[in-house]
Chain A
Amino acid sequence: MFRNLPKFEFLSPKSIKEAISILAKYGPEAKLIAGGTDLLSEMRWGEWSPQYVIALSQIPGLDEIQFDKTTGLRMGAACTIGEIERSKVIGAHYPLLAQAASVLGSTEIRNRATVGGNLCTAAPSADMPPSLLVLNAKAVIATQEGEKVVALEDFFTGPKKTILNHDEMLVRLEIPPVEPTSAGEYIKFGRRNAMEIAMIGVAALITLKGRNNTCKEAKLALATAAPTPIRSKEAEKVLTGKKLTREIIDLAADTASKEASPRTSWRTTEEYRRDLIRALTRRALQKALDKLKS
């Protein structure tokens, strides 16, 4: 039942260390809040009733975007989706991320929602994970013992579940540089053109070598195709080292469809999702390839 927000105490730590110590003290009684666009709705629906809500807004540095051409991108977990969408740095060097950000929610949601929040809510349909996965992102997690770095692939453990312990906090994403002969595409599919939860989402990143369409490396990741966001590694293998003909792309799409484990939900069926994965993977790959050709 949808109702009022439950009562809680609002805490505003001024540093990551302070935040972690509060988390350690209160354990499952505490929830972190960044943009709040998922959390507050979930709380109204009765999913969470934390006694302590810990804001991240007063912690400096959590929303910084830094780029270095050798080390790549460092993106604070509290960067808003809107900031990612509009960032010149990201637009120049990681346009796939900007594209994924641009289809999340609405203008108003994007101005508050954060990439960290999107990852930590960990819905299988989340919009940011697929593009972050194909970009080989790493999650930097603050713990009582210091920071630890985890491949984003290992971050999600189940529907709305991550590896984070109660006293741990996602603080940053680190994304390596992308080779210049690369292009990506994120396709989000739903019944509506906007304000939609992905029925299927596909992120593709292709890196070519040489003048012809030979694929040096291909990465594919899917939303809502499994209990967590996933890479389609078998499909990627189909593409690596091959000339990207129509047939190879079709085969990769087909492989991605077979490899995934979508489910039948109230929204749609497993069969339809597999069809979507096939069609949209093909399109995403083709679009990425077209970007490289032009």
Chain B
Amino acid sequence: MVKQTIDLKVNGQAYEVQTQPWRTLAEVLRDQLNLTGTKISCAEGHCGACTVLVNGKAVNSCLMLIAEAQGKEILTIEGLSKGGELHPIQDAFVTHGAVQCGFCTPGIIMGTQAFLLENPDPSEAEIKKALAGHLCRCTGYVQIIEAVKAAADTMKSSRSKRR
């Protein structure tokens, strides 16, 4: 079967990949672009480990065929930190004990990024709803929610500083 050429824009960089039509965005990111921060676990949209941002919206990349990613701005976990400096969400996860085995972490951080951009001052209930599509088998979620709250606070205050 003929491979397609797909133009991708990932973390601000342009890529051209040759791939079969039945490949998902998650597989292409991991196997062809070597961006293995995005994880595959359930491969059917239950666990959130594969979450990336597509045009600013959090999606399960395991459920997106690669052709559908063409022409869109894709942000993966690798694109979040800048020049070695952690994004406030990443930093909050480190300092709040929200990372244990770390397998769910990239997906949850990306889900959080999309969410906080839309809702910079969330309640705990809103955080839980926004991240309901993410499973973590280690932490029990408490520190994750605390980290998200702390990140929201940090991001709010850095925005007000810039004004």
| Stretch of B7-15, B41-49, B76-84, B94-102 with 4 or more beta carbons under 8 angstroms from chain A | B41-49
Is the C-beta of A157 less than 8 angstroms from some C-beta in chain B? Answer: no
Chain A residues with CB below 8 A from B46, complex form: 195
In the complex where A37-B45, A55-B68 touch, is A8 in contact with B22 (Cβ < 8 A)? Answer: yes
- 98-125 of chain B: CB within 8 A of chain A: 111, 114-115
Which A residues are in CB contact (< 8 Å) with B20? 7
B6 → A minimal CB distance (Å): 10
Q: How far is the CA of A9 from the CA of B2 in the complex (A)?
A: 9
Give the distance in Å from the alpha carbon of A105 to the alpha carbon of B67 in the complex.
Answer: 24
The answer to whether residues A111 and B58 also contact, given A7-B1, A44-B43 and a CB cut-off of 8 A, is yes
A109 to B5, CA, bound (A): 27
Q: Number of B residues contacting the other chain (C-beta, 8 Å)?
A: 33
A2 close to B (CB within 8 Å): yes
Contacts of B115 in A (CB 8 A): 107
Measured between C-beta atoms, what is the minimum distance from A283 to chain B in Å?
Answer: 20
Question: B59-98 toward A: CB 8 Å interface, digit per residue (1/0)?
Answer: 1101111011000000000000000000000000000000
| Chain A residues whose C-beta falls within 8 Å of the C-beta of B4 in the assembled complex | 10
Q: Which residue of B lies closest to A6 (CB)?
A: B22
Q: How far is the CB of A85 from chain B (nearest CB, A)?
A: 11
Once bound together, how far apart are the Cα atoms of A115 and B23, in whole Å? Answer: 24
In the complex, chain A residues whose CB is within 8 Å of the CB of B150: none
Describe A's contact surface by its main secondary structure: loop
Closest to B53 in A: A111
Contact B65–A33 (Cβ < 8 Å): yes
| Bound: A107/B59 CA distance, A | 8
Given contacts A8-B22, A108-B48, contact A53 B65 (CB under 8 A): yes
Query: Counting CB contacts under 8 A, is B131 at the interface?
Result: yes
Please tell me if A261 contacts chain B, counting CB pairs below 8 Å.
no
List of A residues within 8 angstroms of B133 by Cβ: 105-109, 194-195
Is the pair B1, A40 in contact by a Cβ cutoff of 8 Å? no
How big is chain A's contact interface, by range? Answer: 20 to 34
Q: Give Cα A57 to B131, complex, Å.
A: 26
Q: When each residue 2-46 of chain B gets 1 if its CB lies under 8 Å from chain A and 0 otherwise, what string results?
A: 001000000000000000111010000000000000000001111
**Contact partners of B64 in chain A: CB under 8 A:** 36, 112
The complex places the Cα of A5 from the Cα of B64 at a distance, in Å, of: 12
Residues from 1 to 53 in A contacting B, C-beta threshold 8 Å: 2, 5-10, 12, 33, 35-37, 40-41, 44, 53
Q: Which residues of chain B are within 8 angstroms of A57 by Cβ–Cβ distance?
A: 68
A116 within 8 A of B: no
Q: Which chain A positions have C-beta within 8 A of B163?
A: none
Closest CB in chain A relative to B100 CB, distance in Å: 21
Of the candidates A2, A6, A55, the one whose C-beta lies within 8 Å of that of B67 is A55
CA distance A37 to B59 in the complex (A): 10
Shortest beta-carbon distance, A73 to chain B, in Å?
Answer: 23
A124 CB-CB contact with B under 8 Å: no
- Least CB separation from B50: chain A residue: A108
Chain A residues near B63 (CB-CB < 8 A): 35-37, 40-41, 109, 112
- Report how far A112 CA is from B132 CA in the complex, Å: 16
A109 touches B22 (CB 8 A): no
- B residues near A262, Cβ cutoff 8 Å: none
Chain A contacts for B65, CB-based, 8 A: 10, 33, 36, 40, 53, 55
Given the complex of chains A and B, what is the CA–CA distance between A142 and B6 in angstroms?
30
> Which residues in B have their C-beta under 8 angstroms from that of A33?
65
Q: Which A-chain residue is minimally distant from B61 (CB atoms)?
A: A108
Could you list 11 examples of A-B contacts with CB < 8 Å? A7-B1, A8-B22, A9-B21, A40-B63, A40-B65, A41-B45, A44-B44, A53-B65, A55-B68, A82-B57, A107-B129
Which residue numbers of B lie inside 8 Å of A, CB to CB?
1, 4, 20-22, 24, 43-46, 48, 51, 54, 57-60, 62-65, 67-68, 111, 114-115, 128-134
New A-B contacts (7) at CB < 8 Å, excluding given A36-B68, A53-B21: A40-B24, A55-B67, A105-B45, A107-B111, A108-B111, A112-B59, A194-B129
